């Protein structure tokens, strides 16, 4: 009789485990966005959240938690209960750069998260004010060589992807530029448009409006391939500077130790969302592109990005600098 009781108990656990994902979600899901409302990341987060909610038959609410270079939102996500009801949308800045730069980081950008799926890629482009004389990367490099330590390049902060791209260009082209960090894309863009900054690598959604209104010129795309939004613009490799390549990607994660069946259900939902032609067109209109990697591929991709970026951070003397 006692043995039958044990069998019944474990059978009950099995049933509970198998029905957990099927009943998910039975309450609203929170998607933490470590960026302020209104920017490209926020528009992306809200589009993805709406899609996931529609597929799962529930509600996914975006919660903006900006601050400390994405560390505030990332740390909050890692402290949440790992039940699938708190998700996080992040990228290299939150998973790799912030933990490396912060002296007292409260989280590990890889170990403290369970990757679910990547969702989008925002190509970074090399832009200059429209009144600058150079029409190509080669012409810009020639001008920089004639004026060492005179030309300025903007970034969206110390340790940001635009800074890494500027450093890569310096190394590949053998030039010396002056780095000017800003607190975000908006102030960097303001000074670039005013001519107070000579060049910048910024993600395409942040500048696409100014490019279309003929206020900025795109010299190259810092990605492996040309972007659908600007098919005639060459990549940095095509312009002669192979290796100056880094995109701004975004992925969805849950806190570490989230149930595998819930991760699988969320992954499948995101895959379905990203098949939407309407979503693809919406992202394309903003200069973004769909990028889907499943949970396993996202985990491998995240580790490969860390392996690539951490040596750059160390070489630039930025590790533990904040």
Residues 165, 163: Cα–Cα separation, whole Å: 5
Query: What pLDDT does 184 receive?
Result: 81
Q: pLDDT (tens digit, 9 = 90+) per residue, 245-262? A: 998 999 999 999 999 999
Residue 322 — pLDDT band, cuts 50, 70, 90? low
Contact predicate 90/117, CB 8 Å: no
Burial of 12: CB neighbours in 10 Å, binned 0-12, 13-18, 19+: exposed
Q: State what percent of residues in the chain have pLDDT above 70.
A: 92
Q: What pLDDT, on the 0 to 100 scale, is given for residue 16?
A: 41
pLDDT at 185: 85
Query: What pLDDT is attached to residue 287?
Result: 82
CB 33 within 8 A of CB 251: no
Which pLDDT score is estimated for 111? Answer: 97
* DSSP designation for 245: -
Q: 13-122+247-315 belongs to which CATH class?
A: alpha beta
Domain positions in the chain are: 13-122+247-315, 124-221
**To the nearest whole percent, how much of the chain has pLDDT over 90?**
73
> Is pLDDT at 319 greater than 80 in this prediction?
no
Residue 73, helix vs strand vs coil:
helix
Domain spanning 124-221: which CATH class is it, in words? alpha beta
One fold for 13-122+247-315 and 124-221: yes
pLDDT score of 7 more than 70: no
E-assigned strand segments in 144-274: 152-155, 178-181, 199-203, 216-221, 248-255
In this prediction, residues 185-207 reach a mean pLDDT of 93
Q: For strands 248-255 and 113-122, give the pairing.
A: antiparallel
For residue 293, the cross-strand partners are: 118
What pLDDT is recorded for position 321? Answer: 57
* Residue 200 predicted with pLDDT over 60: yes
Helix (H, G, I), strand (E, B) or coil at 102: coil
Structural contact between residues 322 and 158, judged by C-beta atoms closer than 8 angstroms: yes
**What tens digit of pLDDT does each residue of 37-86 get?**
887 888 899 999 999 999 999 999 999 999 888 999 999 999 999 999 99
Tens of pLDDT along 263-298?
999 999 999 999 999 999 988 888 889 999 999 999
pLDDT tens digits along 110-159: 999 999 999 999 999 999 999 999 999 999 999 999 999 999 999 988 88
Task: Identify which of 220, 198, 243, 252 has the alpha carbon closest to the alpha carbon of residue 55.
Answer: 252
- Burial class (CB within 10 angstroms; exposed 0-12, middle 13-18, buried 19+) of 28: exposed
* 202: its two tokens: 């910024």
Burial class (CB in 10 A: 0-12, 13-18, 19+), 119: buried
Angle between helices 295-315 and 260-273 (to 10 degrees): 90
- Residue 105's pLDDT is what? 84
The residues pairing with 92 across neighbouring beta strands, listed in sequence order, are: none
Query: Is residue 8's pLDDT more than 50?
Result: no
Q: How confident is the model at residue 18 (pLDDT cuts 50, 70, 90)?
A: very low
Dist CA 264 CA 197 (whole Å):
46
Mean pLDDT (the chain, rounded)? 90
pLDDT at res. 15: 40
**Beta 60-64 vs 86-90: how paired, if at all?**
unpaired
């Amino acid at each position: 009789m006692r043995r039958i009781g044990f069998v019944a108990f474990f059978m009950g656990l099995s049933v509970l485990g198998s029905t957990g994902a099927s009943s998910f979600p039975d309450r609203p899901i929170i998607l933490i966005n470590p960026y302020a409302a209104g920017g490209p990341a926020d528009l992306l987060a809200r589009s993805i959240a709406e899609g996931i909610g529609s597929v799962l038959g529930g509600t996914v609410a975006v919660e903006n938690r900006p601050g400390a270079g994405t560390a505030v939102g990332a740390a909050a996500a890692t402290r949440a209960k790992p039940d699938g009801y708190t998700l996080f949308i992040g990228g290299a800045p939150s998973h790799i750069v912030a933990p490396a730069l912060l002296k007292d980081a409260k989280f590990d950008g890889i170990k403290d998260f369970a990757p679910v799926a990547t969702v989008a890629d925002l190509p970074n482009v090399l832009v200059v004010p429209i009144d600058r004389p150079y029409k190509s990367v080669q012409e810009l490099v020639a001008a920089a060589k004639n004026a060492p330590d005179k030309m300025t390049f903007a970034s969206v902060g110390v340790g940001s992807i635009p800074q890494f791209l500027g450093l890569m260009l310096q190394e590949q082209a053998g030039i010396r530029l002056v780095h000017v960090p800003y607190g975000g894309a908006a102030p960097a863009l303001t000074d670039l448009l005013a001519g107070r900054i000579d060049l910048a690598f910024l993600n395409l959604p942040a500048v696409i409006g100014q490019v279309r209104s003929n206020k900025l010129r795109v010299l190259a795309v810092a990605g492996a391939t040309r972007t659908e939004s600007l098919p005639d613009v060459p990549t940095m490799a095509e312009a002669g500077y192979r290796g100056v390549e880094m995109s701004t990607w975004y992925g969805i994660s849950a806190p570490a130790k989230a149930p595998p069946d819930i991760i699988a259900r969320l992954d499948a939902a995101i895959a379905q969302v990203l098949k939407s032609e309407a979503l693809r067109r919406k992202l394309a209109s903003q200069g973004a592109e769909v990028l889907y990697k499943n949970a396993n591929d996202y985990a491998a991709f995240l580790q490969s990005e860390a392996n690539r970026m951490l040596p750059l951070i160390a070489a630039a003397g930025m590790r533990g600098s904040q």
